[in-house]
């Protein structure tokens, strides 16, 4: 038998995080654990114990997270792992149960995660709530469709300057798009801007675009050099280009696209509605490959539904199934942006995971109905729900956490 509870010491915390370390390779050093503790408090790291030994771990970053028209508290699920010696004995299920109850008690209405495999989290009420994709663009195809008159100036910055100049740009993205989590000062420094030892010989480049006297965009990228038959075959790995206006985004991307030597530019985690696809003259050449991004869980259906804005003020009644968090199960009426319990006849019957899929606006109820995941109980309910929930721009989470 095993028990699940939050960790309460550095030693327990390290061993619990080490459960996922079994799969990422390499032991966790004390230095890495120390860094991690600065973004994930002990009591947000659950561990499964058997006879005093830790056999699994599951963490939840205390996030502020953008949803349509608002920002909500959110459990950012991460470092979930079960030791290979104890797999398929219900350890993950027990940790998910304990973690969701903890998130509920903390009054975080939603939880979000990136899934290592799409088959794991649906059973715990998480739904696929955002898409993203990777591009691999050969330099020869980097032209824009329309001429661009750059007005700003690009300059490189140190990590210390970046820690001051990048966050306001990121915060603007958070106001613009659902799916963005707030980066704390420690997160910026330790997880985004720090140059790990293994990258010191070829560190990432940090650049800002100054326009009209302010920083309006930034870029983080690395050049990975290689030569073939005497010619450069380098890859330019772009990890983030974020701008506060269309002009700034277009100029920052132009700077990156024009860098010499690369043969292929790669960038992952781009949303389908990213400006690059309308800026480029030949977006087909970007060889965009779509995949799942965030998975979302409504931990408190009432608070979550009342916590976002909607495209219209319509009314709809959901019959929600939730086997893991029974406090959510039953009928909910969303009317004028507020959700309350109701005895009214339901328009749509669905699992809480499907409601999570529709929540950020990336997956429509029509798609869910066509995938046989939502039952339409009254005529036109799917169209009505889509008119209420639809949201632009689409959610975008530019970082795997
Ligand atoms: C994925 C992982 C956490 C599962 O842990 P586990 O303790 O073996 O899972 P459980 O025994 O609690 O399984 C719970 C349910 O999930 C299912 N499940 C577990 N892992 C699964 C997987 N990889 N794919 C599909 N289903 C899976 C089980 O079959 C079980 O289903 P059931 O309730 O219908 O019987 C573990 O295998 C692991 O650490 N994998 C490598 C790291 C990883 O992928 N972590 C997730 C990071 S996002």
Pairing mode of beta strands 348-351, 315-321: parallel
pLDDT greater than 90 at residue 246: yes
| Per-residue pLDDT, 30 | 86
| Per-residue pLDDT, 86 | 97
The catalytically annotated residue of 36, 63, 65, 121 is 121
| Cβ(341)–Cβ(331) below 8 Å | yes
Tokens for 377, please give them: 């109980």
Q: Render pLDDT for 64-109 as a digit per residue (tens, 0 to 9).
A: 999 999 999 999 999 999 999 999 999 999 999 999 999 999 999 9
CA–CA separation, 312 and 142 (whole Å): 39
Task: Please report which confidence band the pLDDT of residue 320 belongs to, taking 50, 70 and 90 as the band edges.
Answer: very high
pLDDT greater than 90 at residue 25: no
| Per-residue pLDDT, 238 | 98
| Per-residue pLDDT, 32 | 87
By three-state DSSP, how is residue 283 classified? helix
Ligand 1 within 6 A of CB of 115: yes
What's the mean pLDDT in 31-55? 95
Task: Please report which confidence band the pLDDT of residue 24 belongs to, taking 50, 70 and 90 as the band edges.
Answer: confident
pLDDT greater than 80 at residue 190: yes
CA–CA separation, 151 and 149 (whole Å): 6
Distance from residue 121's CA to the centre of ligand 1 (Å): 8
**Which burial class, exposed, middle or buried, applies to 275 when counting CB atoms under 10 A from its CB (0-12, 13-18, 19+)?**
middle
CA–CA separation, 354 and 368 (whole Å): 7
| Cβ(217)–Cβ(241) below 8 Å | yes
Distances 327 to 66, 202, 338 between C-alpha atoms, Å: 24, 51, 18
Spell out the residues 6+ positions from residue 11 whose beta carbon is closer than 8 angstroms to its own.
Answer: none
Ligand 1 within 6 A of CB of 93: yes
Best mutation site among 24, 49, 87, 115 for ligand 1, i.e. most ligand atoms within 8 A of its Cβ?
A: 87
CA–CA separation, 205 and 207 (whole Å): 6
Look over the chain and give the mean of its residue pLDDT values, rounded to a whole number: 97
| Per-residue pLDDT, 98 | 98
Q: Render pLDDT for 127-141 as a digit per residue (tens, 0 to 9).
A: 999 999 999 999 999
pLDDT greater than 80 at residue 372: yes
pLDDT greater than 90 at residue 381: yes
What's the mean pLDDT in 255-283? 98
Task: Please report which confidence band the pLDDT of residue 349 belongs to, taking 50, 70 and 90 as the band edges.
Answer: very high
Q: Is 83 a catalytic residue?
A: no
Task: Enumerate the β-bridge partners of residue 26.
Answer: none
Ligand 1 within 6 A of CB of 23: yes
With vertex at residue 316, the alpha carbon angle to CA 388 and CA 397, rounded to the nearest 5 degrees, is 40
Give the global pTM: 0.96
Ligand 1 within 6 A of CB of 84: no
Distance from residue 120's CA to the centre of ligand 1 (Å): 6
CA–CA separation, 114 and 14 (whole Å): 21
Ligand 1 within 6 A of CB of 89: yes
Task: Please report which confidence band the pLDDT of residue 356 belongs to, taking 50, 70 and 90 as the band edges.
Answer: very high
Q: Is 310 a catalytic residue?
A: no
Distances 184 to 11, 38, 60, 165, 326 between C-alpha atoms, Å: 24, 10, 15, 14, 33
Distance from residue 22's CA to the centre of ligand 1 (Å): 14
CA–CA separation, 225 and 395 (whole Å): 33
Determine if residue 104 is left, alpha or beta; phi over 0 gives left, psi from -120 to 50 gives alpha, anything else beta. Answer: alpha
The atom number, within ligand 1, closest to the CA of 81 reads 39
| Cβ(374)–Cβ(356) below 8 Å | no
Ligand 1 within 6 A of CB of 21: no
| Per-residue pLDDT, 29 | 84
By three-state DSSP, how is residue 145 classified? coil
Among 154-158, 195-199, 309-313, 319-323, which stretch is predicted with the lowest mean pLDDT? 195-199
Q: Report CA torsion sign: 281, 238, 205, 219.
A: positive
| The 110-114 sheet, strands edge to edge | 3-6, 45-50, 53-67, 70-82, 110-114, 294-298, 127-128
| Per-residue pLDDT, 228 | 95
């Amino acid at each position: 038998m095993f028990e699940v509870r939050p960790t309460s010491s550095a030693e327990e915390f390290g061993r619990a995080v080490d459960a996922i370390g079994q799969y990422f390779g390499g032991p966790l050093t004390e230095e890495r654990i120390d860094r991690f503790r600065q973004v994930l408090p002990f009591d947000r790291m659950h561990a499964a114990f058997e006879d005093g030994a830790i056999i699994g771990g599951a963490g939840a970053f205390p996030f502020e997270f953008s949803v349509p028209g608002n920002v909500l508290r959110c459990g950012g699920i991460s470092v979930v792992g079960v030791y290979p010696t104890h797999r398929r004995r219900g350890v993950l299920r027990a940790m998910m149960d304990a973690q969701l109850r903890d998130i509920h008690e903390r009054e975080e209405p939603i939880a979000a995660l990136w899934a290592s495999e799409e088959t794991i989290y649906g059973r715990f009420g998480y739904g696929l709530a955002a898409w993203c994709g990777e591009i691999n663009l050969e330099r020869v195809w980097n032209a824009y469709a329309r001429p661009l008159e750059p007005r700003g100036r690009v300059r490189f910055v140190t990590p210390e300057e970046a820690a001051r100049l990048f966050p306001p740009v990121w915060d603007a993205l958070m106001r613009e798009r659902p799916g963005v989590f707030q980066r704390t000062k420690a997160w910026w420094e330790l997880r985004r801007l720090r140059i790990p030892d293994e990258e010191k010989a070829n560190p990432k480049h940090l650049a800002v675009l100054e326009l009209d006297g302010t920083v309006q965009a930034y870029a983080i990228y690395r050049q990975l050099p290689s030569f073939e038959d005497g010619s450069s075959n380098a890859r330019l790995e772009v990890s983030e280009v974020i701008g506060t206006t269309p002009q700034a985004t277009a100029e920052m991307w132009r700077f990156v696209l024009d860098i010499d030597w690369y043969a292929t530019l790669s960038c992952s985690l781009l949303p389908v509605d990213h400006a690059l696809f309308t800026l480029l003259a030949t977006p087909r050449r970007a060889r965009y490959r779509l995949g799942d991004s965030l998975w979302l869980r409504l931990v408190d259906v009432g608070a979550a539904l009342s916590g976002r804005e909607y495209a219209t003020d319509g009314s709809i009644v959901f019959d929600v199934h939730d086997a893991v968090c029974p406090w959510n199960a039953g009928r909910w009426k969303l009317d004028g942006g507020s959700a309350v319990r109701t005895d009214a006849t339901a328009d749509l019957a669905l699992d809480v995971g499907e409601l999570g899929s529709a929540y950020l606006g990336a997956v429509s109820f029509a798609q869910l109905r066509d995938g046989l995941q939502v039952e339409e109980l009254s005529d036109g309910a799917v169209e009505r729900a889509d008119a209420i929930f639809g949201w632009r721009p689409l959610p975008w989470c530019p970082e795997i956490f």
